[in-house]
Amino acid sequence: MIQLTNKYSIDESAAYIIADKKQIQSIDLSQKERGFAEKMLENKSKLVHINSFHKSSFILLVNTEKDEFTQLEEIRKSGNKIIADIQELNLEKINIVNLSSEKFTYALCEGIMLSKYGFHKYFKDKEEKKSSLKELKIVSNNNDKTKVDLLNALITGVYHARDIVNEPLSFMTAQKLSQEIERIGKETGFRTEVLNKKQIESLKMGGLIAVNRGSTHPPTFNIMQWEPENAINEKPYVFVGKGLVFDTGGINLKPSGYIETMKSDKAGGATVIGLMAAIAKAKLPIKVIGLVPATDNRPGNDAYVPEDIITMFDGTTVEVLNTDAEGRMILADALAYAKKYKPQLVIDLATLTGAAVVAVGENATAIMGNTSKEIEILKQTGFEVWEKLVELPLWDEYKELLKSSVADLKNIGGKYAGAITAGKFLEHFTDYDWIHLDIAGPAFTEKNDSYRGIGGTGVGVRLLFEFLNKKRNN
């Protein structure tokens, strides 16, 4: 938790944000330390750590020559470096003293708090792994708590999203995921309704049922609701997340080298859950619904097989030609289900295709949809929070690739444009303003990536929380 304070002692460790080297003068340092800091900042270095033994002082010089968004991102990354030193020295407290612009304070706190995250549950000595940092205080004279509250809510949301992604199937089956959603809902304030296998069957969610058939664990369909009395919107924003708790590929089994990260195939769902948690905790005055269809995809005895024809929730028939294209099968049912809310806008998130990673890389999200206005706003927000979006087209021609000779649609396209044909498939099940985010690249990282950490990144939570906050301020 980030706190606000208006008093602090110069004997406490602190991070100072400055925009001009001259500001070093106003920091409590010895003559020699000051000389050292000046020399360091003279060179390329933008972050200096002065260890005075009784306290640490971090001096962060903002690079004002760069554009604003790059500045903010460099500050978040400095937060990661600061956390590394804090860990090393076992520091428990740090103050943020900003001698420059206020927005830098939040970026630094964000970088520190997101870097502090760790998934330690399964270590025997988990206490040892925990971050030493217990207190992060912003030194400030104005008592505007709102921004700090928003940031704390957001960080809670990202932590939940990461935790969910990082849990393996040995713990997190679809039913366990539902229990986690209920628990997080109670903790943060949103309402949860879980549909069980029977209910899913009586609703005829054919896509979700088909994908689940090879598993011994039942599927769930999770509905989260945040409907505050002071909502500014009549029609809700609906977020749909792929909750594939493990994707073996099914009968089209994934080979090694491809299967090992597939606990992260629930990352879209995890983001929706984390987002709902952040929204509820921040008490945003916006009506929001979260939908997460959940199952694992397995080649068990009764698994669906290529050439099966599946009747989906909305009656569309789908010829399955690859059981590994399962995400679109469960999302299609959720997207069709979303129609009943008469939504303002639906945004789905999914680790949907390897093709999206090939197209835009591991650090960017592929964005597609039918509302260019909202896509533009989201792309802009992507730069601000540094969760960047690359737009792919949904031209009619691509729909041709999904034509089947025996059913309304095939579940795979051709050899090329795999991220787009997946998007076209989903589009078929929408009749409202809609955006699709393929997060297959950035959802999970196998090597430490600054404040994004290792494992689940929670990508999308910061993006969409900021997006909604813009709606509120409009």
Determine, following the binding rule CB under 6 A, whether residue 319 of this chain makes contact with ligand BES. no
Buried residues in 394-408 as b, exposed as e (16+ CB within 10 A)? beeebbebbeeeebb
Question: Of 251, 325, 349, 459, which one interacts with ligand BES (CB under 6 A)?
Answer: 325
From the CB of 255, what's the least distance to Mn ion, in Å? 12
Stretch that binds Mn ion, among 320-328, 329-337, 406-414, 448-456 (CB under 5 A): 320-328
From the CB of 65, what's the least distance to Zn ion, in Å? 43
Determine, following the binding rule CB under 6 A, whether residue 438 of this chain makes contact with ligand BES. no
Stretch that binds ligand BES, among 64-72, 132-140, 322-330, 428-436 (CB under 6 A): 322-330
The identity of residue 120, as a single letter, is H
* CA-wise closest residue to 211 among 186, 248, 159: 248
Question: Of 12, 247, 333, 438, which one interacts with Mn ion (CB under 5 A)?
Answer: 247
- Footprint of ligand BES on residues 402-431 (CB under 6 A)? 412, 418
Determine, following the binding rule CB under 6 A, whether residue 354 of this chain makes contact with ligand BES. yes
Q: Which residue is nearest to ligand BES (CB)?
A: 354
Determine, following the binding rule CB under 5 A, whether residue 438 of this chain makes contact with Mn ion. no
Residue in 76, 328, 424, 462 annotated catalytic: 328
Question: Of 101, 132, 322, 450, which one interacts with ligand BES (CB under 6 A)?
Answer: 322
183 is known as an active-site residue: no
254 is known as an active-site residue: yes
From the CB of 326, what's the least distance to Mn ion, in Å? 5
Determine, following the binding rule CB under 6 A, whether residue 250 of this chain makes contact with ligand BES. no
Question: Of 12, 73, 314, 324, which one interacts with Mn ion (CB under 5 A)?
Answer: 324
Site size for Mn ion (CB under 5 A): 3
Q: Which does 322 bind (CB under 5 to 8 A by kind): ligand BES, Zn ion, Mn ion, none?
A: ligand BES
Determine, following the binding rule CB under 6 A, whether residue 326 of this chain makes contact with ligand BES. yes
From the CB of 412, what's the least distance to ligand BES, in Å? 4
Q: Which residues bind ligand BES (CB under 6 A)?
A: 247, 265, 322, 324-327, 351-355, 357, 412, 418, 440
User: Among all residues, which ones are annotated catalytic?
Assistant: 254, 328
